[in-house]
Amino acid sequence: MKIALAQLDYHVGNFEKNTSKIIHAISEAKKDGVDIIAFAELAICGYPAWDFLEFDDFINRCEASIREIAVHCIGIAAIIGGPSRNPVPEGKNLYNTAFFLNNGNVEKLIHKTLLPTYDVFDEYRYFEPNTAFACVDYKGKKIAVTICEDLWNLDDDPMYTINPMDYLIKEKPDFAINIAASPFSYTHDASRVNVLSRNAAKYNIPFFYVNHTGAQTELIFDGASMVAHPDGTIIKLPVFEEKISIFNLDEICTGKYPEYTAPQKYALITSALVEGIRDYFHKMGFKKAVLGLSGGIDSAVVFALAVKALGKENVLPVLLPSPYTSDASNLEAIEMAKRLGTDHKIISIASITSSYESVLKPLFEGFEPGLAEENLQARSRGTLLMALSNKLGYILINTSNKSEIAVGYSTLYGDSIGAFSVLGDLYKTEVYELANYINATENNPIPEFIITRPPSAELRPGQKDSDSLPPYKILDEILFEYIENRKGPKEIIAQGHEEETVQRILKLVNASEYKRFQAPPILRVSEKAFGVGRRLPIVAKYLS
């Protein structure tokens, strides 16, 4: 039996394109003599569709797409993910379903059993869990079909009370197919390989796994579809690439396949961020980007990634110097624009901030100059960048990093603005490591001075980030333990960090929630990004 895995990039709500892409894949697979082709979870509508699933018209279009695709399944079967209606009044109105299409019809519906409601997932908001289990019979083979999370209940502290494969294995399936919508993080590939391998070993059958690729706003999908054999063989599809791979069931354990090796962290992150930028622009119908280029590490890395994603002709860096901007910052920013071959613009903000200060002088009488004046500079820059965005039709890309966003070291309506954030899920120390990786692999687009200089917002004479924050190595270690590992202050202090520093940093994190609530969407590359996957109240007293 020939089995194809169709690892494709879908677009939420773009039914015409999704349907056309699926039909084309079926047609190509049929030419190659494929018996069954599998597409990803909720491929029909794209993932995540969120509250679009509450619209009858949206579900009607999903159903129409399934019917349109089914007529092409003659001489080939397909498994495709989509929402289906629950005919029983009790419970949720929808199931998360794998449609088995054959002989021009929908022959079987397999519903998802385990509905995640953690991190970025909120599936029980929309779907009813499955309670009936049966394999698919096709061409003399029994196929155990599951959907994403259905394979993940293997831990010593299981999240769910049942495991769908424990029921399906009773029918003695020949192999299993799992269709998934599994978002990228730089550690998740190893987790997926582990889960698929453990399932294959536990149930002693091959597992075929197909995932989305492409990006949907902040969620990035890397594909990384695979076949796991009980003997430990892992056959991987490429990451961040549309690919249809065909496997012969009788040969998957005897064929000569490349040995699986785990990808390098910053290679994955670079590919993910480039995919996130490119798909945001492509799916929104945008072409050109604008960003503020300060001569600092964050904007330099974003600039390099944007050029890689969109092309040098589609990225406009803008220098916005103030009286406190060093000549070195300007020179290095211009040098980087030359290295990448882009145009650049320079707009001084001195007269603008001076006008603001003049207008506000009567109201600021008696107050020493301080943070308000510094923030006027950031907001002047934000206003100018948004004006260029409006006038030229360019999309403004945010350049803040996770460390700054975590502790509120940013200005609302200033450096926090933008359509989406490229580095908002990378700590400052990771940004430096990413910069070094980019230079090592992309012919040194980032001037060395930008990487080695002490970081500074340059909003007052001689200012350095270290005036306001601990060294980034210490800060990022504390933030990682609190944000990713959900450790409390006592636990973090016990790891060797100073009590006063820990208490101050955690207070800054929680007190800055109101800023993050107004931040742009952040491309997710870790297991715990700010945004939809981390939900905390703004008005709260805990540690603040």
Q: Find, among 134, 193, 194, the residue nearest to 169 by Cα.
A: 134
242 burial type by CB count under 10 A (0-12 exposed, 13-18 middle, 19+ buried): middle
d(CA 334, CA 439): 17
Give the list of residues 6+ apart from residue 125 with CB closer than 8 angstroms, or none: 117
Q: Which amino acid is at 238?
A: P
Q: Up-side HSE of residue 256: CA atoms within 13 Å toward CB?
A: 0
d(CA 104, CA 288): 43
Strand, coil or helix: what is 535?
coil
| Strand (E) or helix (H) holding 36 | strand 36-38
Is residue 464 annotated as a catalytic residue, yes or no? no
281 burial type by CB count under 10 A (0-12 exposed, 13-18 middle, 19+ buried): buried
| SS3 labels along 146-209 | EEHHHHCCCCCCCCCCCCHHHHHHHHCCCEEEEECCCCCCCCHHHHHHHHHHHHHHHHCCCEEE
Is residue 148 annotated as a catalytic residue, yes or no? yes
Q: Which of 21, 112, 308, 402 is catalytic?
A: 112
261 burial type by CB count under 10 A (0-12 exposed, 13-18 middle, 19+ buried): exposed
Q: Which of 41, 374, 458, 477 is catalytic?
A: 41
Is residue 41 annotated as a catalytic residue, yes or no? yes
Q: Which of 45, 62, 73, 148 is catalytic?
A: 148
Q: Which amino acid is at 209?
A: Y
Q: Catalytic amino acids?
A: 41, 112, 148
